[in-house]
Structure 1
């Protein structure tokens, strides 16, 4: 094998910091200055080195990219969604990076059957109301933050990011004339929300720590200088989001973190309205509120965790909640109303969507998330003194798969139908329309409640029966809340010709933070690995939300190490059960999953042949100790506050990847990131890589790849995304010796 080139020589400029009597010297902190020509030169040198070291992987990258592109229907479309007087859908065009947003007028108000759209063929009356490719052509990076259209279907609000730092510019466009209005708002966080009449748009602005903290309203037709500040959240641990209520009468404002929230409502029909506080953060209740109209009276449905770790749903009124807002009673339990859906230990109530016909409930049981249906009559019964209902007893659409996700998509409030997205690991996404109770059979051609398949995402030149999905449960020594041993769910994906014979190359993927579940989803790029005989395993480790709230809480703060040990246990179990060759295992994770990669690299480097960390959070202690850095204060609810708590500081120091690099034989490691990432700063992997090289006792390469025009999600555009995925997969497949098709 050819000798590797010499990696960039990263100079050392010692910087010390002291917390809780502990002094740390950091030689690479100078890399934080991304405006420094010297830093930029170093980052480019890292890219050059990475290109040289991985040059032999280029044919494999090209092969995987070609396979992804070949299997993807490039000129494609979505199923039209009816909103008011139009059917809205998107088209993707071969050779173009971004979607094109289209619509066509509704011919018959009573018809809820979406028009049949064909790739490359325009419908009668079809118009393109936003061509993302045309907008993206003006910039090296382009990402939409959201589109919103008023009730008259004539005004479009959209937000665009042209650098990758997720600070958007809000713009307005007249859809009847195609004119983009002169007015705009800079530095908007996320998407704007149009008030239904189109006279006002609400938006959030982030502070210096990239925390959305200020709510403004912009009057259409005026300068942004005249925008009115409606709310400022000064608590540095609260993140604020906004959305319209289901009936579009109120703006729902939720400020919170992973442990508690604060809620407000604002009447969007009143230009002078101010936000009304409903449940303050002082009660430390994790909750959401949903306004609902019942027989002409306004109520609130509250999804909350007060004395209900897996959440329950209660019915109350705004007046009842506001009447309890006494500072003296802040620590006392709130009366959140009458129980509608009772708490269950085996079922996690994730949330609800209200329609005029019924309520769509999202719940999770034994890792599987699905939609269940709650009738308005049941809610009325509770209002009138009736008993609550277990979420597990609610009906819902039935599917034959054992492991799947069924998610309710946003639907028109008054529509007689709702739409769900069904996905599994090996079934491309399917869209179903389901009519509400009481709807006429002619609405969908089926009985109310019976799913009607509208579309399955096409995949070219592949027989999906060639692949299998298997669920394993890896035992641990820990005990769960019921006193039985904790078992880690593992999803094993493989080609049908692959068996558990102990000889398989394997890729183990993990995340395990923020209560984010790794739910089943179909991915074309993954097929390229399975075709090469690789077993793709997803370790559903603690810190995620797959098994309810306790699964999350058992992998955060002073229990965070459970996330890392679970991943290693899952890896060992794949070997024990014959699914993985112990000498040919790779690992993959991104963001907080990149922290996981850095931790297992230090804790068990001998178990992996290669590790790839995407936008990795590998220097968490440095970041969270500085509340001025983006998102740092918000992270205290996930990891603990090492600034004020010496125990948290010591605990984080003992697992922080950057702090625990040691003299050991590390596997091949690749860190990939983007210069303009505001969630996990590029400097973390930029520092981690030279420190790894400094202590590397083996010959495996350690490389750093940085996208100079991207953000947290990498470069913009689907082809660039495919290239990045091909790069990642080729790196791992190369090092575990699985570069050729095995079938």
Structure 2
């Protein structure tokens, strides 16, 4: 590594910022399918190498120098976020096993405090599910603190919770804490009767914790060396961790494993799968000696979720599946059917396949089926009575009715025996609202569109915020192949359409993840500076159904990038903005998108912020020993075995396609301990960009040395990170002044 000599380098000024650090070149040839690529910076993967750490620190120093004049803007945006946020706040209590559970935040504290208070009533009446009035800053009689995140984080460089579980008798509380940002957790168990921690300590657990019904056994997840969750283990309380047994181990490196309780808590469901097919194994707590039993084997190549439950005393399984149903459908199956070959099984249709409706998943309460679905890009909830389900007597589904065109309604968790379900509602300019939706019955019949919606809370937004000051509109860009790409266009209502404003285009476009309408306090700081903010719902996401995803993955991946450029062209030609004042932003797989569009159309952007960017995707996926690489084959294809996939990926991966053009201002934002997208990818990328670009705009690497995939921990650090990103963009597109 070489770093410019301080004696020969002028001090940073507005016209002469510090020169960027230049990494030494150590050529390494990578050959696949007869093609050789020479990588000069692969040595930066050596995380323990002092030269690597020195370079990264030098990168941050350079970034600090280049962006020093943005410090006031960052401070302003941070304060705007802070001043709009009610810092002393709490979640809406959720009832479980006779307790109300909630979390609260205290002004000046970075982390949540997990709490509970005893519930009244036996839960048989709707009134029993009315949450207690818990006010910010007001002591709650009988409140019990389960975990104070601020106390846990004291003296630690990082802190994050990775799951928690309470025994059904309410006596024991298990939680996982990450103190490094690598998403591996130390699990401790607290006796809530005494406040003491049990001696049982599990190190390096993955996400996911749950107790057996009798509270004597804790189930937890373990990841392998490539950070792939592959083992479900059991810990018997009071025994040495070394004696913990493996309940299930998944050896296929391309499959992801997880677990959870079924809705009625009679089974532990182990889910194994990729993006194209899956397998569910059920452990029946009434006969655990049988071990986890397979429902539909993965060899049938069906992507499905299973929810077992008892219907009039008969074991049933509610299946959400893609068998002859690209957008998925829902079937009801008797448990005994799974003992037969698939072709001989009888499945009753509950919700038929519909090309215009994507079924996301389904669960049950004691009385209703609850379905998450997507129609016209919007995520919504539908409920149907269990009585008559899958027969000609099946009742019509009921959806809660909301007043906005663009919104998101999702499940907020519910108890199996509850007469209400918890919903979370939000839109781009409606702060999150928590509702309880009363399940329609003969006693409380459905009205126009459904049962009663009981508003439990709307997240307060301070600082004089008024939703009517802003507008969210659906627009459509047209891609080069004629495909119409949906856009969410957000702006201030008083903005003049005079072609002089600044714009930002945001996108993701992978893994069938949808960029659904959702309120964001930080984004207001850009809108209030006259920015037109466009969310591009590009192919590869899930907004338009399964085909939308499949048209943006594997050998169709370039559609994701060209869709984003089309969205940018729409904005440039919309009359809202000055085409010279457009920035772009995306993170993780959206960071790959940023790298790709930077290569495709650098002239269209004044600045690009690539957050934890997956910009060296081919190198990563070619090495199955690296974190998550093998799991990515179902998303991008397998370039190890397929020369066509290799050639196609090499044609678009950002790191290998940097070319001699004038790149815009670019900020690559990363974390040293990120286990999903390793820091080495953006570190290599910025070196090649600087060495190749024919332009003079700065290209910087912002690195959090104590953070993970989500950056530094704690809400205040999170706000600072977002303020940094937005200030970098706002400065580049000339949107620094509040309107």
TM-superposed CA distance for 1:334, in Å, is: 7.3
1-structure distance, mates of 2:287, 2:68: 61
CA contact (8 A) 1:433 1:444 kept: no
- Return 5+ residue gaps in structure 2 as ranges: 1-13
Residue in 1 aligned with 2:256? 239
2-structure distance, mates of 1:372, 1:704: 45
Residue in 1 aligned with 2:297? 280
CA contact (8 A) 1:367 1:547 kept: yes
Deviations 1:226-249 (A, max 9, x none): 111111111111101100010101
1:168 to 185, 206, 209: 185
Residue in 2 aligned with 1:299? 316
TM-superposed CA distance for 1:435, in Å, is: 1.5
3-state SS, counterpart of residue 315 of structure 1? strand
Deviations 1:482-520 (A, max 9, x none): xxx421000011011113322110010000000000011
3-state SS, counterpart of residue 582 of structure 1? strand
Residue in 2 aligned with 1:350? 360
Residue in 2 aligned with 1:308? 325
1-structure distance, mates of 2:92, 2:394: 37
Q: Are residue 425 (structure 1) and residue 428 (structure 2) matched?
A: yes
TM-superposed CA distance for 1:308, in Å, is: 0.1
Q: Are residue 683 (structure 1) and residue 666 (structure 2) matched?
A: no
1:460 to 462, 481, 488: 462
Aligned residues: CA RMSD:
1.8
CA contact (8 A) 1:183 1:221 kept: yes
Deviations 1:528-553 (A, max 9, x none): 00000011110000000000000000
2-structure distance, mates of 1:637, 1:446: 43
Deviations 1:39-90 (A, max 9, x none): 1011000000100010000000000000000000000011111112111111
2:47 to 34, 41, 44: 34
3-state SS, counterpart of residue 279 of structure 1? coil
TM-superposed CA distance for 1:654, in Å, is: 0.4
3-state SS, counterpart of residue 581 of structure 1? strand
**1:67-466 superposed matches below 5 A:** 67-109=80-122, 110=125, 111-270=128-287, 272-324=289-341, 335=345, 337-379=347-389, 381-382=390-391, 386=392, 394-438=397-441, 449-461=451-463, 462-466=465-469
Q: Are residue 472 (structure 1) and residue 475 (structure 2) matched?
A: yes
CA contact (8 A) 2:398 2:449 kept: no
1-structure distance, mates of 2:448, 2:501: 46
Taking a change above 3 Å as real, the CA distance of residues 271 and 321 of structure 1, as seen in their structure-2 partners, is closer
3-state SS, counterpart of residue 636 of structure 1? helix
Residue in 2 aligned with 1:527? 524
Residue in 1 aligned with 2:3? none
Deviations 1:695-723 (A, max 9, x none): 11111100001110111011110000000
3-state SS, counterpart of residue 602 of structure 1? helix
TM-superposed CA distance for 1:144, in Å, is: 0.3
CA contact (8 A) 1:321 1:336 kept: no
Taking a change above 3 Å as real, the CA distance of residues 444 and 348 of structure 1, as seen in their structure-2 partners, is closer
TM-superposed CA distance for 1:311, in Å, is: 0.4
CA contact (8 A) 1:112 1:444 kept: no
- Runs (4+) of structure 1 exceeding 3 A deviation are 269-273, 333-336, 386-389, 438-441, 443-448
3-state SS, counterpart of residue 208 of structure 2? strand
TM-superposed CA distance for 1:448, in Å, is: 7.8
**1:552-567 superposed matches below 5 A:** 552-567=549-564
Deviations 1:191-227 (A, max 9, x none): 2111232111111111111111111111112111111
TM-superposed CA distance for 1:351, in Å, is: 0.5
Taking a change above 3 Å as real, the CA distance of residues 448 and 195 of structure 1, as seen in their structure-2 partners, is farther
Deviations 1:333-373 (A, max 9, x none): 67461111100000001101210010111110111010011
1-structure distance, mates of 2:446, 2:514: 33
2:34 to 21, 43, 48: 21
Deviations 1:555-589 (A, max 9, x none): 00000000000000010011222132110000000
Taking a change above 3 Å as real, the CA distance of residues 336 and 629 of structure 1, as seen in their structure-2 partners, is farther
Deviations 1:418-439 (A, max 9, x none): 1110000000000111222338
Taking a change above 3 Å as real, the CA distance of residues 588 and 447 of structure 1, as seen in their structure-2 partners, is closer
Taking a change above 3 Å as real, the CA distance of residues 388 and 14 of structure 1, as seen in their structure-2 partners, is farther
TM-superposed CA distance for 1:445, in Å, is: 14
3-state SS, counterpart of residue 124 of structure 1? coil
Residue in 2 aligned with 1:493? 490
2-structure distance, mates of 1:560, 1:322: 40
Taking a change above 3 Å as real, the CA distance of residues 161 and 171 of structure 1, as seen in their structure-2 partners, is same
2-structure distance, mates of 1:337, 1:19: 46
1-structure distance, mates of 2:333, 2:564: 43
Greater shift in the superposed pair: 193-202 or 627-636: 193-202
2-structure distance, mates of 1:602, 1:398: 44
1-structure distance, mates of 2:419, 2:373: 23
Greater shift in the superposed pair: 634-643 or 177-186: 177-186
TM-superposed CA distance for 1:474, in Å, is: 1.1
Residue in 2 aligned with 1:518? 515
CA contact (8 A) 1:339 1:387 kept: no
Length, aligned pairs only: 721
2-structure distance, mates of 1:446, 1:550: 33
Q: TM-score, normalised by structure 2?
A: 0.95
CA contact (8 A) 1:434 1:444 kept: no
Residue in 2 aligned with 1:482? none
Deviations 1:136-170 (A, max 9, x none): 11411011001111111111111111111111122
1-structure distance, mates of 2:344, 2:57: 56
Taking a change above 3 Å as real, the CA distance of residues 175 and 334 of structure 1, as seen in their structure-2 partners, is farther
Taking a change above 3 Å as real, the CA distance of residues 145 and 336 of structure 1, as seen in their structure-2 partners, is farther
Residue in 2 aligned with 1:656? 653
1-structure distance, mates of 2:34, 2:636: 20
3-state SS, counterpart of residue 534 of structure 2? strand
Taking a change above 3 Å as real, the CA distance of residues 236 and 650 of structure 1, as seen in their structure-2 partners, is same
1-structure distance, mates of 2:498, 2:170: 59
2-structure distance, mates of 1:23, 1:336: 53
2-structure distance, mates of 1:276, 1:605: 53
- Return 5+ residue gaps in structure 1 as ranges: 326-332, 479-484
Greater shift in the superposed pair: 348-357 or 601-610: 348-357
TM-superposed CA distance for 1:319, in Å, is: 2.7
**1:571-720 superposed matches below 5 A:** 571-720=568-717
3-state SS, counterpart of residue 210 of structure 2? strand
TM-superposed CA distance for 1:323, in Å, is: 2.2
Greater shift in the superposed pair: 250-259 or 577-586: 577-586
CA contact (8 A) 1:16 1:23 kept: yes
3-state SS, counterpart of residue 566 of structure 2? helix
2-structure distance, mates of 1:682, 1:88: 37
2:502 to 501, 505, 528: 505
TM-superposed CA distance for 1:107, in Å, is: 2.8
CA contact (8 A) 1:263 1:278 kept: yes
Q: Are residue 544 (structure 1) and residue 541 (structure 2) matched?
A: yes
Q: TM-score, normalised by structure 1?
A: 0.95
1-structure distance, mates of 2:344, 2:529: 57
CA contact (8 A) 1:342 1:388 kept: no
